[in-house]
């Protein structure tokens, strides 16, 4: 009998904790004010600008596209300077850079599958979308990402749906594919992301990415004020965002908390990847005001 009681206790406690987290994640909350958004944006940009030389060594094109978009939306000179540094280092003198169409309209770069064979699955889809190359689409790992149910087969990829939506959005911007079909896929993926935000309360990188993609695809009304407030509160005093959400402090600066794939013990560190997303979120929100 004692064993059964302990077993029930062990099973019930996680459910109670999760129910509490779910409530906190989705409860009513005050909308972010314009002052809060602007303060958050300024702080995030300062974090990036103070680390200019370090982040310029990270060539991740999607992060720099986010900063390019944020610079255009906000008009902030620091973001413009940051992107100009990336442009000078990676784009201007490298006409063969296959990511150029991501940054420049009416630009096309040929992509051979052999040259991207070892890329992450989502980058392959991005490059197919940017080039609208039908030969690339014939590869199953690329063409399957044009199907709204693609991520159903990859439950252990937390950012699968957001990455897929990024690729579909590129197809839309490049006018590649059937317009109505792409619109329907976007709608399905938006619904999946909204459900993920409701049921996954961990404020880590993918949380910001989900919020970002709902806003970027024009459905700000589906983003709960509580989600935006959690993003706002997750920003550090230094201005950055982290891929780790501390819950309980331990020893040596470490904490027990949420990470990208569950629960772990580590030290919180702000990162370029998450901060670039936070900056774009705030830029888009302010543009709506």
Q: Give the pLDDT confidence of 42-81 residue by residue, as tens digits.
A: 999 999 999 999 999 999 999 999 999 999 999 999 999 9
How far apart, in Å, do the first and last CA atoms of the chain sit? 60
Which residue's entry shows tokens 């991520």? 151
Looking from the CA of 142 toward its CB, the CA atoms found within 13 Å total 24
Backbone angles phi, psi at 256, to 5 degrees: -90, 130
What's the token pair of residue 114? 């052999």
Say how far apart CA 171 and CA 79 lie, in whole Å. Answer: 26
Q: pTM of the prediction?
A: 0.95
Contact 151, 161 (CB under 8 A): yes
Say how far apart CA 53 and CA 86 lie, in whole Å. Answer: 10
Render pLDDT for 76-87 as a digit per residue (tens, 0 to 9). Answer: 999 999 999 999
Q: What is the CA radius of gyration of the chain?
A: 20
| Confidence category of residue 252, pLDDT binned at 50, 70, 90 | confident
Closest CA to 283 of 56, 65, 73: 73
Three-state DSSP at 93 gives: coil
């Amino acid at each position: 009998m004692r064993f059964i009681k302990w077993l029930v206790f062990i099973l019930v406690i996680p459910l109670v904790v999760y129910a509490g987290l779910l409530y906190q994640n989705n409860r009513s909350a005050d909308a972010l004010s314009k002052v809060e958004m602007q303060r958050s944006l300024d702080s995030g940009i300062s974090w990036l600008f103070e680390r200019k030389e370090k982040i310029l060594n990270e060539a991740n094109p999607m992060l720099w596209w986010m900063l390019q978009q944020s610079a255009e939306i906000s008009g902030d000179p620091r973001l413009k300077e940051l992107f100009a540094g990336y442009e000078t280092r990676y784009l201007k003198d490298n006409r063969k850079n296959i990511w150029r169409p991501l940054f420049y309209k009416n630009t096309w770069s040929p992509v051979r599958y052999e040259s991207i064979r070892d890329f992450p699955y989502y980058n392959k889809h991005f490059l197919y979308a940017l080039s609208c190359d039908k030969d690339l689409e014939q590869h199953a790992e690329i063409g399957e990402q044009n199907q709204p149910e693609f991520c159903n087969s990859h439950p252990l990829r937390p950012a699968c749906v957001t990455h897929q939506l990024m690729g579909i959005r590129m197809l839309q911007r490049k006018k590649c594919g059937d317009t109505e079909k792409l619109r329907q896929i976007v709608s399905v993926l938006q619904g999946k992301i909204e459900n993920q935000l409701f049921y996954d309360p961990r404020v880590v990188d993918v949380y910001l990415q989900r919020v970002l993609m709902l806003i970027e695809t024009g459905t700000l009304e589906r983003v709960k004020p509580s989600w935006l407030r959690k993003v706002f509160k997750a920003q550090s005093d230094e201005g950055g965002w982290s891929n780790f959400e501390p819950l309980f402090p331990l020893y040596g600066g470490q904490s027990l908390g949420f990470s990208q794939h569950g629960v772990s013990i580590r030290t919180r560190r702000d990162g370029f990847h998450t901060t670039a997303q936070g900056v774009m979120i705030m830029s888009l929100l302010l543009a709506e005001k």
